């Protein structure tokens, strides 16, 4: 569903505090814009079919890849292509905008207690 209401990122981030649970805040062209709050270490995973963009809105995020680590700060983004294993780590709480196809599962190929099958729309 595409709505034509503007979205204020700060207002949306104020609506939730749970970690590692992406919330949908926009949809276009089969893609979803999500917001997520992160702290700690996620699991290694990849997405078989989906490229994924991480844009840091607040704090800092380390995207671990198998051969290196990309350190993202506010106003920086990284696109992780499909098939590439990655593990996000945030020492302190970080707020991140995700852009990815609607089909994307947050834990990719690895089902765990952190898997969010139906992300909430806020």
Nearest to a copy of itself of 36, 99 (CB atom): 99
Task: Give least dist CB 36 to a copy of itself, A.
Answer: 16
Identify the DSSP state of 63.
E
Residue 14 touches a copy of itself, criterion: CB under 8 A: no
Residue 31 touches a copy of itself, criterion: CB under 8 A: yes
Residue 19 touches a copy of itself, criterion: CB under 8 A: no
**Which structure tokens are listed for 74?**
């506010």
Binding residue for a copy of itself (CB under 8 A) from 16, 21, 77, 116? 77
Nearest to a copy of itself of 83, 112 (CB atom): 83
Q: Is the dihedral of CA 108, 46, 89, 112 positive or negative?
A: positive
Residue 89 touches a copy of itself, criterion: CB under 8 A: no
Task: Give least dist CB 10 to a copy of itself, A.
Answer: 6
Q: Count other Cβ atoms within 10 Å, centred on residue 64.
A: 16
State the Cα–Cα distance between residues 90 and 102, nearest whole angstrom: 24
Residue 70 touches a copy of itself, criterion: CB under 8 A: yes
Q: CA torsion 108→42→25→9, rounded to 10°?
A: -150
Residue 44 touches a copy of itself, criterion: CB under 8 A: no
Tell me phi and psi for residue 86, to 5 degrees. -150, 155
């Amino acid at each position: 569903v595409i709505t034509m209401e503007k979205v204020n990122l700060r207002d949306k981030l104020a609506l939730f505090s749970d970690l590692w649970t992406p919330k949908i805040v926009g949809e276009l062209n089969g893609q979803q814009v999500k917001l997520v709050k992160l702290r700690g270490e996620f699991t290694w995973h990849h997405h078989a079919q989906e490229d994924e963009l991480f844009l840091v809105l607040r704090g800092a995020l380390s995207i671990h890849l198998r051969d290196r680590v990309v350190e993202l700060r506010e106003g920086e983004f990284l696109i992780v292509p499909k098939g590439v294993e990655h593990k996000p780590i945030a020492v302190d709480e970080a707020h991140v905008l995700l852009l990815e196809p609607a089909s994307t599962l947050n834990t990719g190929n690895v089902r765990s207690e952190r898997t969010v099958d139906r992300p909430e729309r806020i």
